[in-house]
Amino acid sequence: MEGLSDIFANEMWSAYLEISILMLSSFLIGYLASLQLNNGRHKKTIKKLRKELDERQNEAAKDIEVLYTEIEPKIIETIESRTRSSQQAPPPAPPAPVVVNTPTPETTETKQVRTQQEVAAKASATYQKALEKKELNFDNFGYASASDKDDLTQISGVGPYIEQKLNEIGIYTYDQISRFNWEDIQTVTEMIDFFPGRMERDNWVGQAERLKNY
């Protein structure tokens, strides 16, 4: 009896093992099958979504292209209009310069020029007064005019400027100068603002005497 019990127990254990193995195998097969099925469904879903996305992108691109085609002529027309306006419009006039009357500062050089001009004016006025006070004794050395004029620059010490001064007071000829006395020499020296004593040193009277007889 014990031997049969052991055999029966062993057979039951083997049956349980086989059943467990079958159940485990069935579970694994079912699990793997479901995974495969789910993967297939996911792939189909992803493929479908990608297709829809591509279609929408294509539609958006077409919409943009259509929109650009419609507004392109307007853009070109606007650009051409602005270009023509810029070419036809005259350039803007430069702003008028703003003139500000500011006093010019007087420099040292300007002061010197002004001082020189004042001195020259005073000297000229003094000279004119001296001419008015002094009188030449034409009765002593004679009268002459521009038509009788000699080249007084031939006298040593007389240049073009001094000759002009002599002509201005009525002295034109060698004969007039050759007749100068001491008082005439002093008067002429003052009237032409010449160096005192220069006529005597250069002997204008003697030179004029020789030149008029030459």
Give the pLDDT score at 21: 82
Domain count, the chain: 2
If we measure between CA atoms, which residue out of 196, 194, 190 comes closest to residue 131? 190
Last residue in a domain, options 88, 103, 135: 88
Give the pLDDT score at 2: 46
Token output for 68 = 């650009």
Could you tell me if 188 and 194 are in contact, meaning their C-beta atoms sit under 8 angstroms apart? Answer: yes
Measure the CA angle with vertex 179, ends 175 and 180; round to 5°: 125
Give the pLDDT score at 51: 79
Measure the CA angle with vertex 171, ends 149 and 121; round to 5°: 115
Token output for 30 = 């079912």
Decide if 38 is inside a domain: yes
Decide if 95 is inside a domain: no
What are the average pLDDT values for consecutive 10-residue runs of the chain, which has 214 residues?
A: 52 70 78 68 73 72 62 72 66 61 63 70 60 78 94 94 95 96 94 91 95 88
Decide if 94 is inside a domain: no
Decide if 205 is inside a domain: yes
Decide if 110 is inside a domain: no
**Structural domain that includes position 23:** 1-88
Residue type, 95: P
Distance CA 210, CA 213 (A): 5
Token output for 12 = 């039951």
DSSP state of 122: H
Instruction: Say what the alpha-carbon torsion angle 165, 127, 131, 145 is, to the nearest 10 degrees.
Output: 20
Last residue in a domain, options 88, 106, 140: 88
CB atoms within 10 A of CB 106: 9
Q: Are residues 129 and 81 in the same domain?
A: no
Give the pLDDT score at 186: 94
Decide if 163 is inside a domain: yes
Distance CA 191, CA 193 (A): 5
Last residue in a domain, options 40, 73, 88: 88
Give the pLDDT score at 86: 62
Give the pLDDT score at 1: 46
Q: Are residues 21 and 80 in the same domain?
A: yes
Q: Could you report the per-residue pLDDT of 43-88, keeping only the tens digit for each?
A: 777 777 777 777 776 666 566 665 556 666 677 777 777 777 666 6
Q: Are residues 58 and 9 in the same domain?
A: yes
Decide if 184 is inside a domain: yes
Decide if 140 is inside a domain: yes
Distance CA 49, CA 51 (A): 5
